[in-house]
Structure 1
Amino acid sequence: MGRRTTAAMAVLGGMLLVAGCGTDSAGKATPSTSTDTSAGTAALWDPCTAIPDSVLLKVGVDPSSKESGAAGVEEPGWKICSWDNSDFNLAVFSTGIDVDEFTSKSGNVDFADIRVGERSGVRYHRSSDKGGYICDLVFPVEQGTVSVMVSNRVSSKNKVDPCVRADAAAATLLPVFPG
């Protein structure tokens, strides 16, 4: 497993754990509810198919770096897609979980109400991110929420606050988000 995949798996796995999933005895992320999520997952807005390459280029990520799922593994109750460039990783999550579940999860901290374009949402950080490399934004949509996560690369030569990057990415992505 390469560094990119290992890092993405850690970040995406952390997102799932802090946003409504638990872990089973094998350490795999599983939905925290006991309902069958396969039909719900199929009905979710899919960022991998809904976000055009032209929009990704405006965000500044390489469309050919697309990876579906958490490090390539699909998660029940979630549609996840990530892209990267030499400075940061962008992940977009779609789920039926509402904003309150994100704000009530331990490990999610520093909440701030935000407005990007015409959309209201919440910005937060993770208590485990001691280096300040990650910023999460979550927006309510009809199906539940869509989240934007930016994770700066430690090796980045272009140091920009991850929340500045996340805000800019969200402003570009919002027109393609579901209602």
Structure 2
Amino acid sequence: MAHRITLVPLAAALVLGLAACGESTEATPATTTTQAAGTSDVPTQLFDPCTGIPDDALTAAGLDPATKQVGVGGVRQPGWEICGWKGADYTLGVFSTGGTLAEFERRPGNVDFQDVTIAGRTGRQFRVDGAVRDQMCDVLFPAGQGLLQLTLVNKTTADPCDRLRSVGEAVVPALPK
């Protein structure tokens, strides 16, 4: 289960990977295992943000679809579907996992949790404590498969959470519930 809550290092690595804007790699989609009440583990297909978010939504959010980065630095991560794009002065990563909101809320270093609504969908906004606190903002959305997360990294002094809410208006409608 530990691999389900390692998103913060993955987000930082994604940002570095996007900065390099390397080639994407293709591989089979990730699955996660969930356990239904009274049954054995059932594999669940994770949402793939690289194929599930249309280019017009990315463009409307100010992102360049041609900068797509699959995984972390072009490498897929077990139990995750990860994709990121670059805008003029920010990057956006979209993560899909079978983890739970409670796991992220218990993780040391995740701070300032608050409810937010983006494009009519309720989620939990938070920040990562430390050096990147004023540059990054994250929002988690519960989904049938587990969680979806948007991570925005600003290259300006603008509030990253304000920008994430704005960018999210175009991207969140493409996310599964």
After TM superposition, the score normalised by the length of structure 2 is 0.75
Asked if structure 2 preserves the Cα contact closer than 8 Å seen for 1:13 and 1:70, the reply is no
**Closer, same or farther: CA 104–113 of 1 in aligned 2, 3 Å:** same
2:82 maps to what in 1?
80
Q: Secondary structure at the match of 1:165?
A: helix
1:174 maps to what in 2?
172
CA distance in 2, matches of 1:87, 1:67: 16
2:159 maps to what in 1?
161
Q: Which runs of 5+ in 1 are unaligned?
A: 1-11, 18-37
Deviations 1:68-125 (A, max 9, x none): 0011111011100000023001000011011111111001011111122331111101
Q: Secondary structure at the match of 1:40?
A: strand
**Identity of matched residues, %:** 38
Identify the structure with bigger relative contact order (alpha carbons < 8 Å, sequence gap 6+). 2
1:104 maps to what in 2?
106
CA distance in 1, matches of 2:125, 2:134: 14
Measured on the aligned residues, the alpha-carbon RMSD in Å equals 2.2
Q: Secondary structure at the match of 1:124?
A: strand
CA distance in 2, matches of 1:122, 1:175: 16
Q: Which runs of 5+ in 2 are unaligned?
A: 1-6, 13-29, 34-43
**Closer, same or farther: CA 112–134 of 1 in aligned 2, 3 Å:** same
**Closer, same or farther: CA 76–105 of 1 in aligned 2, 3 Å:** same
